[in-house]
Amino acid sequence: QIPFHILAIYNPILEYSKNVEKKFSLKKLTTNNKSIYGEYKNTNKYEYSVTIKSNYKGNMHASDVLIKIPIYKFSENVQVKYKSIGKTEFNNIDSLVIWRIKKFLSSSEHNIKIHLTLENHNQIYSNMNNTQKVDDLSKVVLQVHKIKNMNTVKFLNTYKMPITLSFKIPMFTSSGMYIRYLKVFEKSNYKIIKWIKYLTESGIYQYK
């Protein structure tokens, strides 16, 4: 289970926050080319498939859901081939596919499929020779391509950067704490409108 940061605001001068354990599940990121070609072949084309499922129930919904899916730096022709909901964009600088879902209903599940081409070892060597600073990922990829008959699919499934997730769930508290009664004493007989807002927000939410 992964922690949420829960913030329940009762009125402008009263605030309560609580860290709790709650699920908002992400299914395993799969890297393969079986669905593209029907069977495994000696190719450098791959597919990422990411599925996200909401575990809250009732009439609630999450808003401003943002999923950042890291793509290997030595990839090209990155394309989102399918998404069941929302909008996507590819951040080439940070090597991220950004998936935005404005409204995520309760007890629902959505999927995204990303196709990409992994550069061959000659291209990687050339890129690394032209780069003064070599990061850890570059070193790992270089070592993998130096080994003959390395199973690239196995490597890609093993070495994955974490997927990050952020969201808000209005009028919901994971802690189960709700205000059932509220009374305000106002000496000046000022007309008071009583109003309570609950808001659940994601904290550091990562999946690898």
The CATH H-level superfamily of 23-118+160-170 is Mu homology domain, subdomain B (2.60.40.1170)
The per-residue pLDDT for 73 is 76
Minimal CA–CA distance to 54: which of 175, 199, 160, 202? 202
Chain centre to alpha carbon of residue 141: 24
Alpha-carbon distances of 69 from 80, 89, 98, 107, rounded to whole Å: 11, 11, 6, 22
Q: Which residues of 192-204 are buried (b: 16+ CB within 10 A; e: fewer)?
A: eeeeeebebebee
Which residues have C-beta within 8 Å of that of residue 175, sequence separation ≥ 6?
6, 8, 18, 20
Q: How far apart are CA 152 and CA 32, in angstroms?
A: 9
The per-residue pLDDT for 86 is 95
Q: How far apart are CA 132 and CA 125, in angstroms?
A: 13
Domain ranges of the chain: 23-118+160-170
Tens place of pLDDT for every residue, the chain, 208 residues? 333 333 333 333 344 455 554 445 555 444 444 433 333 344 677 778 888 888 877 888 999 999 998 887 777 888 898 899 999 999 988 889 999 999 999 888 898 988 888 766 555 545 555 544 444 444 444 444 443 334 555 555 545 678 888 999 888 887 777 888 888 887 888 888 888 888 888 877 777 7
